[in-house]
């Protein structure tokens, strides 16, 4: 008597892990493809990713107590994202001053004015939180002569850090930290993430650009630690908002902001570090 297989046995439905891996590759492929696609492709990538992240932040802000106003969040977020490149001739002080006066003044008359100060503050915070990191990616990217390399290896260092932290933390992680924010984070995973970031920066900074390994070490540590911090900051927001993910746009991962959280802070530190030591022009 031969055994017969039920239709379920032949199901080709991918596992949750496979979905997560495949969507991660697609997401990374889009980002890397945009970086190598030229200036306008990078601008388009920033507009799409920042726009989606701002939209998701607006949803989180509602759960955090004060819904960020679209009319403040999106224009200001776009300005911050391009404030060092396309909009570099627009005075930041003027924009911030107008946002203060017009933003708070508007809440004297629009619906929801009783929460006006909180909503205004949340809109300003969201625009800074998402817009400014993209500004520093664009500043790195547009720097001559090796802006593309600096940008790519900053992104790669974060990807390597995330992957190593997840792999090591899930396999041998025994000592949790920040348990009230992200219970699955472990000290072992965090250390592995920083080490992976340092190795990636050694390849890019010392191997490709020929810059001192001391700078590669420092940059790797900065990227690794700031990637962890960015992950924890967004996790804290989701805890406050009492949601698991920022949205469900990315299969197996949640939202775009869930994928971007760890890459938001590193470009700021990388840009200031390389500018301070004059490494961008080497």
What ranges in 242-280 are assigned the alpha helix state H? 256-260, 266-276
**Tens digits of residue pLDDT in 19-31:** 767 877 888 899 9
Measured distance CA(120)–CA(138) in Å, rounded:
27
**Tens digits of residue pLDDT in 36-86:** 999 999 999 999 999 999 999 999 999 999 999 999 999 999 999 999 999
Q: Is 5 inside a domain boundary?
A: no
**Tens digits of residue pLDDT in 115-170:** 899 999 999 999 999 999 999 999 999 999 999 999 999 999 999 999 999 899 98
pLDDT category at 11 given cuts 50, 70, 90 is: low
When divided into structural domains, the chain yields a total of 1
Q: Is 172 inside a domain boundary?
A: yes
Q: Is 82 inside a domain boundary?
A: yes
219 neighbors 151 (Cβ within 8 angstroms): no
Nearest in space to 254 (alpha carbons), one of 234, 224, 274: 234
* CA angle 17–18–19, rounded 5-degree value: 90
156 neighbors 201 (Cβ within 8 angstroms): no
Who wins on pLDDT, 257 or 14? 257
Measured distance CA(265)–CA(161) in Å, rounded:
13
Say if pTM beats, i.e. exceeds, 0.85: yes
Q: Is 76 inside a domain boundary?
A: yes
Q: Is 29 inside a domain boundary?
A: yes
Q: Is 7 inside a domain boundary?
A: no
Quickly list DSSP for 114-164. GGHHHHHHHHHHHHHHHHHHHHHHHHHHHSTTTHHHHHHHHHHHHHHHHHH
Q: Is 4 inside a domain boundary?
A: no
Range of the domain at 199: 16-276
Q: Is 10 inside a domain boundary?
A: no
pLDDT attached to residue 12: 60
User: Average model confidence (pLDDT) for the chain?
Assistant: 91
* CA angle 24–26–27, rounded 5-degree value: 65
The pLDDT of residue 9 is above 50:
no
Tokens 């697609």 belong to residue: 26
For 58, 77, 112, the CA distances from 108, given in Å and listed in that order, are 21, 23, 9
């Amino acid at each position: 008597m031969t055994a017969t297989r039920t239709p379920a046995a032949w199901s080709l439905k991918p596992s949750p892990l496979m979905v997560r891996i495949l969507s991660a590759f697609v997401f990374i492929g889009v980002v890397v493809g945009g970086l190598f696609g030229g200036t306008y492709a990078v601008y388009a990538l920033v507009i799409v990713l920042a726009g989606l992240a701002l939209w998701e932040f607006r949803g989180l802000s509602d759960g955090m107590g004060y819904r960020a106003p679209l009319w403040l969040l999106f224009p200001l977020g776009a300005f911050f994202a391009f404030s060092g490149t396309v909009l570099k001739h627009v005075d930041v002080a003027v924009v911030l001053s107008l946002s203060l006066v017009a933003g708070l003044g508007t809440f004297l008359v629009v619906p929801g004015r009783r929460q006006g100060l909180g909503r205004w503050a949340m809109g300003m915070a969201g625009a800074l939180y998402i817009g400014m990191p993209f500004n520093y990616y664009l500043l790195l990217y547009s720097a001559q002569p090796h802006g593309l390399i600096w940008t790519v290896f900053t992104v790669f260092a974060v990807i390597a850090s995330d992957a190593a932290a997840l792999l090591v933390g899930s396999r041998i992680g025994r000592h949790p930290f920040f348990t009230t924010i992200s219970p699955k984070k472990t000290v072992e995973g965090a250390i592995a993430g920083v080490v992976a970031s340092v190795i990636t920066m050694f390849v890019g900074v010392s191997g490709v650009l020929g810059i001192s390994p001391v700078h590669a070490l420092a940059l790797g540590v900065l990227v690794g630690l700031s990637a962890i911090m960015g992950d924890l900051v967004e996790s804290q927001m989701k805890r406050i908002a009492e949601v698991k993910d920022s949205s469900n746009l990315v299969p197996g991962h949640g939202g775009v902001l869930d994928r971007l959280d760890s890459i938001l802070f590193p470009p700021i530190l990388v840009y200031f570090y390389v500018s301070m030591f004059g490494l961008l022009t080497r």
